[in-house]
Structure 1
Amino acid sequence: MSDAAKQQIIAQEQGRTLGWKRRAATALLGENAARTVAARLTDLRAVRESSLTAAGRANRSNIKQFKNSHAGERCVIIGNGPSLKKTDLSLLSGEITFGLNRIYLMFDELGFETTFHVVVNQLVVEQCADDFRRIQAPLFTTTPSRAFLDGAENVAYLNKLAGPRFSRDASHGIWEGATVTYVAMQLAYYMGFSEVVLIGVDHRFAVTGPAHQVVESAGPDASHFDPNYFGKGFKWQLPDLETSELAYHLARKNFESNGRKIVDATVDGALTVFPKVRLEEALGP
């Protein structure tokens, strides 16, 4: 049996698709109006979270220190696809990097820890909280993660906003866009990076099924760079590639409208939203 075949769905969806409130609002108002209402409500909640408590104000101040802190510079967002094993990672030496989710499993091979770290999926945070507490770099996550990471150092909690949208102000909040990679793009924009290089963003998975369905791995992980990434017994959610593509288009539009760019140096990646380049060309002088 192949590794992919061993990735069986053995935990059913656990209420992480449309909630009854959103379904009711959509039925009553229509999809567009319901999205507008949801966006306004999350904006109000973000303002409340960031201003009414000392912890909220301190957290927002922490995030704001990163605004334009890397204006005009280049960064690399490192995805977690199997293509990383075919990528010349030595080229990343000296680059500013964003690591995502469990990229720390590759730190020994990389020979360095990423400059920034981003994780937003609550199943990943819950099951790997001790690992994230050991991350030395500034860690960006979302406000629900306080339940697992409260008290950890160098953690910034981002407000979750309803979308679709591209947030240019991370201190207010972000739209997740169904992928942590998109959150990293919004953070890169906020920090002022003029060029973002993607690697390991394969945009394909060995397991298929309904978007956001919760599954429990029954064998080695064939969808990421390490078979133990979401190894046996790990609960995770199936990808929503359609929503993530919508998000990526928003990212490209916002970067390019501001004279910036995102390029894709993933080896044999399936994503077609961004211009394709070879990594050695993208990181050349």
Structure 2
Amino acid sequence: MILSAKTRKAILSVPFAREVANLVVNISNKRFYKKLNAEKHFDEKIKSLKNSKVGQRCFIVGSGPSLTVGQLEAIKNEDCFGANRIYKLFEKTAWRPKYYVIQDKYDSTKGVYEKLDVEYLFISDFYWKEHGMNNPHAICYHIDRTLKQTSDLPFSEECSKFIQAASTVTFTMIQLACYMRYKEIYLIGMDHTYANVTNDKGVIIQKNKVKSHAFEDEKPNEVVANISYMEDAYRTARKYCEAHGIGIYNVTLGGALEIFERKDFWSIF
């Protein structure tokens, strides 16, 4: 069921509503994925990627307003992850992500994703259950949510079984990159600035002069970021990478994400 930002806010204001909602979603998605996977064997496709990129590097591309076509052109021959509506920049560049991830069920641009020609198209069961998917490249993955916001987040080491969700698709892409065992992960276009931010109580703060993406949003008021939860996820990712000898760096041109070590984008070439 697709709910408006206003309705979501009202629901989250009710005590324990988030916990109950996430429990229901987890149970429903688990049943859905089990049935779908029994037919399509997506878990085997994901499992084939485990440790497939040992010692290599990749780029995880966000869609923040600092992202430039010049950056995308510079990494068009690199292994890259992209997500959600990054396709809006395709007409401006030859760059295409090797791995494309769709997670947000509130993203209604189904027809575009059906036609995407990418090597790997990862679709969350959260999205697939709501919209379906006929793209032959599509691989459905199972996501799991914590019942309430917590700084002690799980980090999936078995993406063929589940991927931990945490208010940002970037966390999903980092888990996949680590699962494939990339040695170096570079984040670009991760400005970490949004026009609408919320906390776990559903309180929304509007920042009218802030642009959320490098492209125009059709419904900007529907883009609401839980900054604190995202940062919990990023700290969990940094901790995991540090413990497993994986370098993860923020090479965004500016922005507000200071959790990962910064490097100059152009210097890495």
How does the TM-score come out when normalised to structure 1?
0.76
Give secondary structure in 2 for the equivalent of 1:136: coil
Instruction: Decide whether aligned partners of structure 1 residues 17 and 140 sit closer, same or farther in structure 2, where only a CA change above 3 A counts.
Output: farther
Q: Give the Cα–Cα distance (whole angstroms) in 2 for the partners of residues 62 and 16 of structure 1.
A: 39
Change (3 A) 1:145 1:270: same
Change (3 A) 1:212 1:102: farther
Match of 1:13 in 2: 7
Residue 78 (structure 2) pairs with residue 60 (structure 1): no
- Contact 2:235–2:259 at 8 Å: present in 1 too? yes
Tell me if the contact between 2:122 and 2:139 (Cα under 8 Å) persists in the aligned partners: yes
- Match among 117, 124, 145 for residue 162 of structure 1: 145
Q: Which structure would you say has the larger Rg?
A: 1
State whether structure 2 residue 101 is matched by structure 1 residue 115: no
Mapped pair 1:193 → 2:185: no
Cα RMSD, aligned residues only: 3.4
Alignment-derived partner of residue 113 in structure 2: 132
Structure 2 unmatched runs, 5+: 147-152
**Alignment partners' CA distance in 1, 2:252 and 2:182:** 19
SS in 2 for 1:63: helix
Q: Say which of 241, 244, 252 aligns to 1:255.
A: 241
Deviation of 1:206 after TM superposition, in Å, equals 2.6
* C-alpha contact (below 8 Å) 1:13/1:213 kept by paired residues: no
1:143 and 2:137 equivalent? no
Match of residue 5 from structure 1 = none
- Is this contact kept in 1: 2:9–2:203, CA < 8 A? no
Is the Cα contact below 8 Å between 2:198 and 2:224 reproduced in 1? Answer: yes
Describe how 1:181-260 pairs up with structure 2 within 5 A.
181-209=170-198, 222-226=211-215, 228=216, 230-231=217-218, 233=219, 236-260=222-246
* Cα deviations by residue, 1:130-186 (Å, 9 ceiling, x for unpaired): 111111121112113224133321112221213321111111111111101111000
Q: CA deviation at 1:42?
A: 5.2
Contact 2:143 2:164 in 1 (8 A): yes
Letter in 1 for 2:163: I
CA distance in 1, matches of 2:189, 2:127: 25
Distance 1:53 1:175 in 2: 19
Q: What amino acid maps onto 2:267 in structure 1?
A: E
- Could you report, residue by residue, the CA deviation over 1:217-271 in whole angstroms, capped at 9, with x for unpaired residues? xx99931001x3x22x466341011011111111111111111111000011211
CA–CA distance in structure 1, aligned partners of residues 187 and 15 of structure 2: 36
TM-score of the pair, normalised by structure 2: 0.81
Deviation of 1:89 after TM superposition, in Å, equals: 2.9
Q: 1:24 to 1:16 in 2, by over 3 A?
A: closer
Runs (5+) with no aligned partner, structure 1? 1-9, 27-34
Change (3 A) 1:156 1:247: same
C-alpha contact 1:75 1:96 (8 A) present in aligned 2: yes
Query: In 2, are the aligned partners of 1:198 and 1:263 still within 8 Å (CA)?
Result: yes
Structure 1 vs Structure 2: percent identity of aligned residues?
Answer: 26
Q: Secondary structure at the match of 1:256?
A: helix
Q: Which amino acid aligns with 1:145?
A: Y
Q: Does 1:271 align with 2:254?
A: no
Task: Say how many residue pairs are matched.
Answer: 254
- Equivalents in 2 of 1:214, 1:110: separation in Å? 38
Residue in 1 aligned with 2:65? Answer: 82
Give the CA deviation at 1:195.
Answer: 0.7
